[in-house]
Chain A
Amino acid sequence: MGGREQTLWRRRLSRELTGLIALKLVALALLWWLFFSPAHRTTVDADAAGRRLGMTQAAAPTAAAPSGPAQGARRD
Chain B
Amino acid sequence: MIDFGVVTLSRAQFALTALYHFLFVPLTLGLSMILVIMESVYVMTGREIWKRMTRFWGVLFGINFAMGVATGITMEFQFGTNWAFYSHYVGDIFGAPLALEGAMAFFLESTMVGLFFFGWDRLSRVAHLIVTACVALGSSLSALWILIANAWMQFPVGAGFNDRTMRMELLSFKDVFFNPVAQAKFVHAAAAGYVVGSVFVLAVSAWYLLQRRNVEVARRSMAVAASFGLACALSVVVLGDESGYLAGENQRMKVAAIEAEWHTQKAPAKFTLVGIPDLKRHVTHDEIAIPWVLGLIATRSTDKPVVGIFDLVAANRLRIESGMQAYAALRALRANPGDAALRAQFAAHQRDLGYGYLLLRYVSDPATATPQQIDDAAWSTVPNVLVLFWSFRVMVAIGFFLIALFATAFYLSSRHSLAPNRWFLHIAFWSLPLPWIAAELGWVVAEYGRQPWAIDGVLPTFLGASPVPAREVWLSLSGFVVFYTALAVVEVFLLVRTIRRGPEGLGYWPPRPEEPREPAAATAGASGAAGRAGVAGAAR
Contact = CB atoms under 8 A, between A and B. Distances in A.
B372 interface: no
B312 A67 contact: no
Interface in A50-76: 50, 52-55, 57-76
Contact of B162 (A59, A65, A69, A73): A65
A72 B458 CA distance: 8
B221 to A, nearest CB: 37
B250 interface: yes
Given A58-B335, A59-B337, A73-B351, A67 B160 contact: yes
B176 to A, nearest CB: 9
A68 B463 contact: no
A60 B337 contact: yes
A46 interface: yes
Interface in B442-478: 456-458, 463, 467
Interface in A6-60: 42, 44, 46, 49-50, 52-55, 57-60
A55 B334 contact: yes
Contacts, number: 114
B160 A69 contact: yes
A62 B165 CA distance: 9
B186 interface: no
B347 interface: yes
Nearest to B330: A55
Given A49-B85, A65-B162, A72 B357 contact: no
B334 A50 contact: yes
A53 B357 contact: yes
Interface stretch (B27-35, B166-174, B207-215, B424-432): B166-174
A44 to B, nearest CB: 5
B47 interface: no
Contacts of A52: 85, 463, 467
A71 B316 contact: no
A64 B333 CA distance: 11
A62 B458 contact: no
Contacts of B155: 72
Contacts of B156: 71-72
Contacts of B169: 66
9 contacts: A46-B166, A52-B467, A57-B334, A61-B164, A61-B337, A62-B337, A67-B161, A72-B155, A76-B253
Q: Which 7 A-B pairs have the closest CB atoms?
A: A62-B337, A49-B166, A70-B351, A72-B157, A59-B334, A76-B252, A46-B166
Interface of A: 42, 44, 46, 49-50, 52-55, 57-76
Given A53-B360, A71-B351, 11 more contacts: A46-B334, A49-B89, A54-B365, A60-B336, A65-B162, A71-B159, A71-B160, A72-B155, A72-B158, A72-B160, A76-B251
